[in-house]
Amino acid sequence: MQNKINKRYTRREFLRNLSLTTFAGISLPLLSSCSKEEAEDFLQKRFVEMTDEEKKSVIAKLEKRYLRTFGKKFDISTQEALPNTLWGYGLELSRCIGCRRCVYACVQENNNSREKPQLHWIRVLRLKRGSLINLENSEHYYHPDLVPEKGFIYLPVQCQHCENPPCVKVCPVHATWKEPDGLVVVDYNWCIGCRYCIAACPYKGRVFNWAEPNIPPEELNTSVHYFGNRPRMKCAVDKCTFCIQRIRNGRYPACVEACPTGTRKFGNLLDPDSEIRYIIDRKRVFRLKEDLNTEPKFYYFFEA
Amino acid sequence: MGSLQETLKETWHFYRKTLTVVSQGSKGYYLWCFFLFVIFLVGLNFYLKQHDLGLIATHMTDQVSWGLYIANFTYLVGMAAAAVLLVIPAYIYSFKPIKEIVVLGELFAASSIVMAILFVMVDLGRLDRVWHMIPFIGSMNFPQSLLAWDVIVLNGYFILNLFVPVYLLVKFYYRKEPNWKFILPFILISIPWAVGIHTVTAFLYNGLAARPFWNASILAPRFLASAFCSGPAIIIIIFQIIRKVSVIKLEDKALFKIAELIAYGMFLNLFLLTAEIYKEYYSDTVHIAPFKYLLEGLHGHNQLVPWIWAAMTMNVTAFILFLVPATRKRLLTLNIGCILIIIGVWIEKGPGFVIPGFVPDPLGEIYVYVPNLLELMVSFGIWAVGLLIFTLLMKVAIPIVNGEFSHVGYMERTFRREEEAKAWKQSSFRKF
């Protein structure tokens, strides 16, 4: 009897040891398959909380990776907000012809995914004349041979860079915030992909990389900002930054430059001599969904 | 030290015995577990594909950015909340096996929370970065983000609902009276906490001004009312199964009382829904669009319409079945009512609640979202995991609660072994 019990115990112990060994055996290669770079990526901190040293090494690592994957030398800027600036945007509705050149200039400039799906930071809505606020009557996918079409007006919408941004409020991990110059930006490496910000945005200002972004290497823009148009990864959120890589270097956003009708204006709201201040002072401006108290810095206006 | 060694030995014995208890059962038990495990494996397989490709593998888009996963999450938070809320009437009406109801209810709540958390996990684009949400280690946006609140209250609730039943079960295992002064506060706090998890989950949607469908203050009360229907409905069914497969005695009276409470809950739910529909239809502003999409179709898109009317029919039928004493007090009609409620409420506050929030989207676009096979299979997989966890927990908890699996068995066995060893020694002495 006792022998039998002893025997059973040893068999059990044997089984236990066997399963422990198998477990260790499986987990070891799993752990070691994780390269040093992957481990570093996994543990990477929020960019704004890094020391200058850490920031430099992250940028160097990223530039090396881009060179390896795309075969192109990238210049990743981390330039901070300029003092005494608060960026504001003006859009003259009476001029927009709905050609969507801004949409495609933006895709080019900002290294957005090109196919399946193509990511757009700007949407141009076509509205029947006679209605403007009820967007339910808008058409997002119009395909005429020629624009503008008779009987329609066009309303381009992108991130409105709210002073009171609902998307920032809801983000559970501080992956998105408002910069001192008023830009709402995302740390693409910190975003967990919960898409709560997409649910919270009243302007559809945010899009998601549902798949791994794809861009033909020859079409890449290599002049990028860390919080802006650098090539991004799948399943993190994305948005218009007013071309942070350009405006912090004294250039206009790509959409402003691309517009053939001069519909789009841009400038510093704190500078009384800026174009945007001229527009606010002299034109009839309004902002989308002002009733939501988001305080957008994106001003639509009509001539005089 | 001897006692510590003894405790460790017994703990080890307990774990081994648990494994034995879990691995031995009737043919039906094996079949059920195997069935759930297979579904789990299929779901896991589909999830790995999603993990590899990204969320493009689902039918969600920038327009409808939350889908079936978050719908299930919302429903399951309600389940978890209601299972514990059942403790109140159990006390008030002193249902017969009160400790069983507490233990089973809280273990069911814990299993539901596991499912709810898994549904959020599979919905996350970057599961590898989930640690960013952990307070102090990551960077949790508390108290600004309601999702941060939800993480805290759900995990707290999960711990609470594991701690209470485990404490009670350990006491029962040792055949000791639980220290009620110690554990009762935990049981009592789990009740407002249950209300809390569901309120926080409602507020998560409620606070979004961009989504008029959710931006209604009636949301949290409606959530609680509908949870008080679906949670107890599933508990009534589980109680009957437990009654059948174990020696635990559960009175019919308790089941009928729960059904009566469900009727009140359903009345409140339907009343609040009517209040909401009245407000939207009578004022008839642009914010009516999602309601129209849900109830009658919008610009020819009516995917949700048959579903929501089926759900309404089920809920009203169940309400009548539970209101009329004759049908409430017959097990057949009672069970029909329970199933109608489980499905009806799932449609109403799962897909029927999440999807219209996104249709039309803030820029007026209508995207027709229908979950694809992958989303369905991953969801089934998670349900299977939750039910499997609950089944295994029950398999251990029931014999402890009714005293079949206890400390005494271990003591007897040790004693017998010592006696045998003594006898063996003596016999071997005799040999030489």
pLDDT of residue B246: 82
pLDDT of residue B84: 81
pLDDT of residue A12: 58
pLDDT of residue A29: 60
CB atoms A207 and B60 under 8 Å: no
What is the span of the domain harbouring residue A9? 1-33
Domain membership flag for residue A102: yes
Query: Which of A166, A190, A192 is closest, CB to CB, to B209?
Result: A166
Residue B56 has pLDDT above 70, yes or no: yes
Q: Which residues of chain A have pLDDT under 50?
A: 1-7
Q: Are residues A122 and A11 in the same domain?
A: no
Q: Are residues A3 and A121 in the same domain?
A: no
- Put simply, the chain A residues between 182 and 201 with a CB less than 8 A from any chain B CB are 190-196, 198-201
% of chain B exceeding 90 in pLDDT: 69
CB atoms B357 and A199 under 8 Å: yes
pLDDT of residue A3: 47
Domain membership flag for residue A74: no
pLDDT per residue over A20-63, tens digit each? 677 676 666 666 666 788 888 888 899 999 999 999 999 999 99
User: Taking residues B177-204, what's their average pLDDT?
Assistant: 91
CB atoms A194 and B147 under 8 Å: yes
Domain membership flag for residue A98: yes
Query: Which of B55, B145, B205 is closest, CB to CB, to A169?
Result: B145
Domain membership flag for residue A43: no
pTM: 0.90
Domain membership flag for residue A67: no
pLDDT per residue over B4-27, tens digit each? 787 788 788 888 888 888 888 889
| Cβ neighbours of B130 in A, within 8 Å | 192
Domains in chain A, number: 2
**Which CATH number covers residue A176?**
3.30.70.20
CB of A259 within 8 Å of a chain B CB? The answer is: no
CB atoms A2 and B144 under 8 Å: no
pLDDT of residue B412: 77
- Chain B nearest CA to A45, separation (Å): 8
Q: Are residues A104 and A212 in the same domain?
A: yes
The amino acid occupying position A154 is: Y
| 3-class secondary structure per residue, chain B | CHHHHHHHHHHHHHHHHHHHHHHCCCHHHHHHHHHHHHHHHHHHHHHHHHHHHCHHHCCCCCCCCCCHHHHHHHHHHHHHHHHHHCHHHHHHCCCCCHHHHHHHHHHHHHHHHHHHHHHHHHHCCCHHHHHHHCCCCCCCCCCCCHHHHHHHHHHHHHHHHHHHHHHHHHHHHCCCCCCHHHHHHHHHHHHHHHHHHHHHHHHHHHCCCCCCCCCCCCHHHHHHHHHHHHHHHHHHHHHHHHHHHCCCCCCHHHHHHHHHHHHHHHHHHHHHHHHHHHHHHHHCCHHHHHHHHHHCCECCECCCHHHHHHHHHHHHHHHHHHHCHHHHCCHHHHHHHHHHHHHHHHHHHCHHHHHHHHCCCCCCCCCCCCCCHHHHHHHHHHHHHHHHHHHHHHHHHHHHHCCCCCHHHHHHHHHHHHHHHHHHHHHHHHHC
- Put simply, the chain A residues between 284 and 303 with a CB less than 8 A from any chain B CB are 292-293
Residue B85 has pLDDT above 60, yes or no: yes
- Chain B nearest CA to A282, separation (Å): 28
Q: Are residues A120 and A26 in the same domain?
A: no
pLDDT of residue A11: 59
- Phi-psi label, residue A289: left if phi above 0, alpha if psi -120 to 50, beta otherwise: left
User: Taking residues B107-112, what's their average pLDDT?
Assistant: 93
pLDDT of residue A293: 95
- Put simply, the chain B residues between 156 and 175 with a CB less than 8 A from any chain A CB are none
Indicate the pairing of strand A298-302 with strand A284-286. Answer: antiparallel
| Cβ neighbours of B356 in A, within 8 Å | none
CB of A215 within 8 Å of a chain B CB? The answer is: no
pLDDT of residue A4: 45
Query: Which of B55, B129, B358 is closest, CB to CB, to A192?
Result: B129
Q: Are residues A226 and A95 in the same domain?
A: yes
Between residues B278 and B176, the one the model is more confident about: B278
Report d(CA B104, CA B110) in Å as an integer. Answer: 10
Residue B429 has pLDDT above 60, yes or no: no
CB atoms A200 and B138 under 8 Å: no
CB of B60 within 8 Å of a chain A CB? The answer is: yes
CB atoms A292 and B209 under 8 Å: yes
User: Taking residues B299-315, what's their average pLDDT?
Assistant: 95
Nearest-by-CA chain B residue for A213: B54
| Cβ neighbours of A200 in B, within 8 Å | 208, 210
CB atoms B421 and A2 under 8 Å: yes
| Cβ neighbours of B56 in A, within 8 Å | 116-117, 210-211, 234
Domain membership flag for residue A201: yes
Q: Are residues A91 and A29 in the same domain?
A: no
Domain membership flag for residue A65: no
Q: Are residues A103 and A223 in the same domain?
A: yes
Residue B1 has pLDDT above 50, yes or no: no
CB of B65 within 8 Å of a chain A CB? The answer is: yes
pLDDT of residue A1: 42
Between residues B137 and B347, the one the model is more confident about: B347
Domain membership flag for residue A69: no
Say which CATH superfamily domain B26-222+230-404 falls into.
Answer: Formate dehydrogenase/DMSO reductase domain (1.20.1630.10)
Q: Are residues A278 and A154 in the same domain?
A: yes
Where do the structural domains in chain B lie, given as residue ranges?
A: 26-222+230-404
